[in-house]
């Protein structure tokens, strides 16, 4: 009997300890290191609710557009990084399955369009997004058709599907702004891979072992289990792909930088990214032709990375070769702009000038522009549009 009593006490103590740990991990989730927060972000807050420690993203994979945001969301909280939270409302266009941050035009006239990835979707409140700030400056409604985790081919498909398709009977825009980021080539290859049309074989990786049902359940509902699993896989490169290993803080600027994902996605030595580049070029030319045939103006905006804009702070840590690797996709597109007589605006020089003045243009621990950075882009693009120019490449 004494043995059974002691065993019962031991088991009760273990159960209470685990329960207290479950509560403590959830209570202090925001104080955990970034790698652990990412590993635990989708653990349920309690076993009795669907709410997670971090909100689930509104976007999901799609065979046509690579990634789409759910339509008809209303004031839903989203997380960009550990410190970046913003609220999103989305609207379906023409009963489609894609949610945009701009409602469809009631009069059937699309006056201007912004196409791009998360840098156009914006990881800020809607009113702080550069698209809306530019719209206010120009006095022209600009439809924000940005979608996170998408490349040029997806942008082109969205433009045709929701604006330029003759079956829609829409009045065509006079201005189309096409935002490019250096991972667009990688994303275009990803969409081709998803559709089974990629010519470059994917990297060979060992198949992940099948997860037992109990383990899968614990990963969602037990913070202790998820934490121990993350600690056991601490040396796994996949765990650190989106973690910035460096951070610099000055009197004016605080930035974390250098996440491994960027080096992978921007590496033009990789055949998959070179294949994506060809897909991107074709998508840009196809859309430019369509826009100009309808009397519109097509302008490519080249968005740099935080690492490039704050080169004076990041180069001592990352080295020149790393930064040149990040710049290569953008510089290759600038060369293509000259070759194809595209009107292109490289945002890098003017954003860099502001960074040298001590302006915080990006979130500290996220790759996206903060509110000040969005204002800067709106000002730069507005000034560019005010100038008389012919098809060219420019960073001035």
**Cβ atoms of 145 and 159 closer than 8 Å:** yes
**Cβ atoms of 299 and 176 closer than 8 Å:** yes
Tell me what pLDDT residue 207 has: 65
Tell me what pLDDT residue 358 has: 97
State the pLDDT confidence band at 187, using cuts at 50, 70 and 90: very high
Tell me what pLDDT residue 205 has: 67
Range 115-134 average pLDDT? 98
Q: In whole numbers, what is the pLDDT of the chain averaged over residues?
A: 92
The SS3 of residue 391 is: coil
CA distance 63 to 377: 31
The tokens for 307 are 């690492």
Q: What is the pLDDT of residues 204-256, one digit of tens each?
A: 665 667 778 888 888 899 998 888 888 887 677 766 788 899 999 999 999 99
Range 14-20 average pLDDT? 89
Asked if pLDDT for residue 381 goes beyond 60, the answer is yes
Q: What is the pLDDT of residues 277-331, one digit of tens each?
A: 999 999 999 999 999 999 999 999 999 999 999 999 999 999 999 999 999 999 9
State the pLDDT confidence band at 395, using cuts at 50, 70 and 90: very low
Task: Measure CA 245 to chain center.
Answer: 19
H helix or E strand, kind and range, residue 69: strand 66-69
The tokens for 115 are 């196409």
Distances (CA, A) of 335 to 116, 117, 151, 344, 346: 20, 22, 19, 10, 11
Q: Which residues on adjacent β-strands are paired with residue 254?
A: 249
Pick from 2-6, 331-335, 350-354: least confident: 2-6
**Cβ atoms of 83 and 364 closer than 8 Å:** yes
CA distance 45 to 353: 44
State the pLDDT confidence band at 118, using cuts at 50, 70 and 90: very high
Tell me what pLDDT residue 391 has: 43
State the pLDDT confidence band at 393, using cuts at 50, 70 and 90: very low
Backbone dihedral region of 33: left (phi > 0), alpha (psi from -120 to 50 degrees) or beta? beta
Q: Which domains does the chain have, with CATH numbers?
A: 2-51+215-240 (no CATH), 61-201+244-389 (3.40.50.1110)
The SS3 of residue 177 is: strand
Between residues 82 and 177, which one has the greater pLDDT? 177
Q: What is the pLDDT of residues 99-109, one digit of tens each?
A: 999 999 989 89
Asked if pLDDT for residue 388 goes beyond 70, the answer is no
């Amino acid at each position: 009997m004494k043995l059974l009593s002691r065993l019962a006490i031991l088991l009760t103590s273990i159960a209470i300890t685990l329960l207290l740990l479950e509560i403590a991990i959830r209570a202090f989730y925001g104080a955990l290191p970034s790698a652990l927060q990412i590993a635990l972000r989708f653990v349920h807050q309690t076993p009795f609710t669907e709410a997670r420690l971090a909100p689930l993203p509104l976007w999901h994979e799609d065979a046509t557009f690579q990634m789409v945001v759910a339509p008809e969301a209303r004031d839903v909280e989203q997380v960009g990084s550990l410190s970046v939270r913003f609220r999103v409302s989305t609207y379906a266009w023409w009963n489609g399955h894609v949610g945009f941050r701009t409602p469809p035009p009631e009069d059937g006239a699309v006056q201007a369009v912004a196409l791009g990835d998360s840098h156009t979707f914006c990881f800020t409140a809607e009113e702080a997004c550069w698209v809306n700030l530019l719209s206010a400056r120009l006095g022209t409604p600009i439809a924000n058709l940005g979608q996170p985790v998408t490349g040029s081919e997806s942008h082109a498909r969205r433009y045709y599907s929701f604006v330029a398709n003759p079956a829609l009977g829409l009045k065509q825009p006079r201005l189309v702004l096409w935002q490019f980021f250096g991972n667009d080539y990688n994303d275009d290859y990803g969409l081709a891979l998803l559709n089974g049309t990629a010519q470059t074989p994917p990297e060979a990786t060992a198949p992940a072992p099948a997860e037992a049902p109990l383990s899968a359940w614990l990963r969602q509902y037990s913070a202790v289990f998820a934490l121990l699993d993350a600690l056991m896989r601490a040396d796994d490169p996949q765990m650190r792909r989106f973690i910035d290993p460096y951070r610099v803080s000055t009197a004016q600027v605080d930035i974390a930088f250098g996440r491994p994902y960027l080096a992978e996605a921007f590496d033009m030595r990789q055949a998959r990214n070179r294949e994506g580049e060809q897909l991107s070029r074709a998508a840009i030319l196809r859309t430019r032709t369509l826009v100009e045939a309808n009397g519109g103006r097509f302008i490519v905006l080249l968005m740099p990375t935080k690492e490039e804009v704050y080169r004076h702070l990041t180069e001592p840590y990352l080295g020149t070769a790393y930064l040149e690797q990040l710049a290569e996709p953008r510089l290759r597109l600038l060369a293509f702009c000259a070759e194809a007589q595209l009107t292109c605006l490289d945002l890098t020089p003017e954003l860099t000038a502001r960074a040298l003045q001590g302006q915080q243009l990006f979130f500290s621990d996220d790759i996206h522009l903060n509110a000040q950075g969005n204002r800067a882009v709106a000002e730069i693009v507005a000034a560019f549009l005010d100038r008389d120019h012919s098809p060219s490449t420019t960073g001035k």
